[in-house]
Amino acid sequence: MVPCIEARSLNLTFTPKNRDPVTALQGFDLQVSKGEFLTLVGPSGCGKSTFLNGLLGLLKPDSGELSLNGKQINGPGQERAMVFQEFGLLPWRTVLANVELGLELKGVAPLIRHERARELIQLVGLESFQNHYPHELSGGMKQRVGLARALATEPEVLLMDEPFAALDAQTRDLMQTELLQIWERTKKTVLFVTHSIEEAAYLSDRVVIMTARPGRTKNVFKIDLPRPRDYEMRLTPEFNDIKATIWSSLKDELGTKAAGNGI
């Protein structure tokens, strides 16, 4: 079976504004199956976000292979959509118009895209806010809009770049559970990036630990918790064992990074 997403000995460099290019990924390998919820965890700057931008088609690999359903990724496409950490909502557009953005760029007729956007706004529970502007919404609501916008184009793969990092702890817990519910209903392939071990363990089928920069795959953990999962599961000893295992793999990388930076 062809994996949905495949990266093989991938090298990716990116150039921060006014700085020298940085090798973010070197010899990176990853396979994600269709319908899987996979999370990348690694030290800051290990290339997690760079990888998502590569998958999204905004960055080109220097060498190696990066493919979706067996086809080389060449720029953005409808099968992929990203939920951004900083939301990335257009401030001059209402919730409805923001959710419609992808459909509009695809050239979908106004009536059809209104209807489709309304369905998704309902899915994320923002019916009564569809004519509000982003600045009138809370962080959690903004990210719901971000999620609805990504789902609106019916992508096969949902890329989520630390989507809940800017939210407060309670909103974050709530959004995680809602995301799982939506994922179970829509059965998308999700590639999720986070710094939180707890979040990774709670959401994922598999958690991939990455090394410090340049990022490679260090360990892959299969999370054998039953689904559907709920918040109480996070209070069990099994869940704590999983967290401890992931932490023991991750902590060496954090050390290397700190040593490398002379902190």
Instruction: Give CA angle at 197 (191, 203), nearest 5°.
Output: 45
Restricting to residues 155-194, which ones interact with other proteins according to CB under 8 A? none
**Minimum gap (Å) between residue 92 Cβ and other proteins:** 4
Using the rule CB under 8 A, is 130 a contact of other proteins? Answer: no
Q: How many Cβ atoms are within 10 Å of 194's Cβ, its own excluded?
A: 24
- Is residue 181 classed as helix, strand or coil in its secondary structure? helix
User: What tokens appear for 7 in the block?
Assistant: 């990266």
Contact 27, 211 (CB under 8 A): no
Using the rule CB under 8 A, is 57 a contact of other proteins? Answer: yes
Query: Which of these ranges, 36-44, 91-99, 198-206, 231-239, lies near other proteins under the rule CB under 8 A?
Result: 91-99
- Residues whose CB falls within 8 Å of the CB of residue 60, separated by 6 or more in sequence, listed in order: 54
Using the rule CB under 8 A, is 15 a contact of other proteins? Answer: no
Contact 50, 66 (CB under 8 A): no
What letter would DSSP give residue 134?
Answer: G
Query: Which of these ranges, 8-16, 28-36, 86-94, 163-171, lies near other proteins under the rule CB under 8 A?
Result: 86-94
Query: Which of these ranges, 79-87, 114-122, 168-176, 201-209, lies near other proteins under the rule CB under 8 A?
Result: 79-87
CA–CA dist 177, 96 (Å, integer): 24
**Minimum gap (Å) between residue 16 Cβ and other proteins:** 12
Query: Which of these ranges, 37-45, 84-92, 222-230, 241-249, lies near other proteins under the rule CB under 8 A?
Result: 84-92
The residue ranges that bind other proteins (CB under 8 A) are 56-58, 76-78, 80-82, 84, 86, 88, 90-93, 101-102, 105-106, 133-136, 153
